[in-house]
Amino acid sequence: MIPRLAGCTVAAALALSTASWAQDIRIGIPTAQSSAAGVADHQDWLNGAMMAIEEINAAGGVDGRMLAAEVVDIDLLSPEGTVGAFQALDAREVHAIASAFVLIPQPAMDAAAASGVPYMHGNTQISSTRLVEENPERYRNIFMIDPDETFYGSGFIQYLDRLVETGQWEPANNRVHIVQEQIAYTQVISEAAQRAIADSGGTWELARVTDIQFPVQDWTPVINALKAEGAGVIFVSHWVAAELAAFAQQFAFDPTPDSLVYLQYGPSQPEFLDLARGAGEDMIWGTVLGTPRTEEGRAFREAYMAEHGDNMGEVYTASAYDTVMMLAEVWKSTPPEEFDAVGDAIRALRYEGISGTYTFDRPQQRPLSYPWETDELSEGMPHLVYQVQDNTHTIILPESLAESSYQTPHWAE
């Protein structure tokens, strides 16, 4: 005899569950949970994506169909772990993949391309967009939601010009000391900065390049090299928040007195301020994909912090929310099961999100960078530069979105 459950047989309950699952629109979210890197950013992304899913479902879904998140663990440090996560999502028959980033792009892209599933990601790697540009048919349904990492290097050097021109900062000297980690992402950023320095016509000069290797156990040799060089700008091309917090603590104990310190991206991760314990004060960092303090940006921050706490990641929270909203917008007029039609609709999309304006109608299938590729804020993704002021991430550039001016670091006063 088949046992009964809440007025129906187990078999009928399973049939109803299967029918409901078949009607759901499933979004695959590969999320680093046990990886040695990327966990904080990926949790930010998952949180932001779930906020969008819950909001859409509360409003009735997409044409009456509910959105469902399919979350799998991903090891970002190995191609096998990356491919395994994407294959697991394919087995769950997802209608799209929304990913914060992977560190090794091509295996993930090839895994998605095998099924043609629309794959939207924040890899922030020029290697990803070059693959799309060079293989438009194979990677037709793969889209990067932000400008590439080269702008971290070239854009920052140009932002130094802005700080000088506006009288916010008078450099002690024109030399830039770059500290670079040994993965492709940070190397590309460093190389872009070096090209921009070389192209500055003598305005800026490369002082020295110091290599580091993840994981950084002790910053003392780096601090000693920085002090010996005495460059007016210290550019740390590294992205791991915990290690940058350790750098900040050691630098605060023995600073290079006249240097502006730029930590590239890692302070965006919420643990930076907690781990730095005040040592990050006055340091600056940037992101090509952030949360501007527009009316919409402030409202999102308030909603996010009400649910997840005050220390919000600045990058992958709002962008994940935007990505799910973009997919829902496309699915309103295009069946989620028709992958190529969805890809065509994404290419034709212009979406004004919290993080900026997303467009994908170019060979790289990524948005434009403001102010480097478009001088219209409404047409691109703003490259934001923050300074830690009163233990808070405060936008200082571009001027059109600034909350405050650059303040002289306490170690230089």
The first and second tokens of residue 37, run together, are 């890197």
CA gap 15, 128 in Å, rounded:
41
Average pLDDT of the residues of the chain: 93
Question: 376, 162 in Cβ contact below 8 A?
Answer: no
The first and second tokens of residue 155, run together, are 């854009």
Asked whether residue 5 carries a pLDDT value surpassing 80, the answer given is no
Query: So what's the pLDDT on residue 217?
Result: 86
Three-state secondary structure of 381-397: EECEEEEEECCEEEEEE
pLDDT tens digit string along 58-87? 999 999 999 999 999 999 989 999 999 999
Asked whether residue 18 carries a pLDDT value surpassing 80, the answer given is no
Mean pLDDT in residue range 189-201:
98
Asked whether residue 1 carries a pLDDT value surpassing 70, the answer given is no
Asked whether residue 3 carries a pLDDT value surpassing 90, the answer given is no
Of 35 and 321, the one with more pLDDT: 321
Asked whether residue 10 carries a pLDDT value surpassing 90, the answer given is no
Beta-carbon count within 10 A of 410 CB: 10
pLDDT tens digit string along 240-268? 999 999 999 999 999 999 999 999 999 99
pTM, two decimals, is 0.93
CA nearest neighbour of 340 among 139, 194, 182: 139
- Look at the alpha carbons of 181, 185, 188, 189 in this order and tell me if their dihedral is positive or negative: negative
Cα angle value 150/315/67 (rounded, 5°) = 120
> Computed over its alpha carbons, how large is the radius of gyration of the chain?
22
Residue range(s) occupied by CATH 3.40.50.2300 in the chain: 25-148+294-370, 150-287+383-412
- Domain spanning 25-148+294-370, CATH class: alpha beta
Of 13 and 332, the one with more pLDDT: 332
CA gap 396, 405 in Å, rounded:
5
CA gap 142, 297 in Å, rounded:
26
CATH superfamily of 150-287+383-412: Response regulator (3.40.50.2300)
Mean pLDDT in residue range 177-194:
95
pLDDT-above-70 percentage for the chain: 94
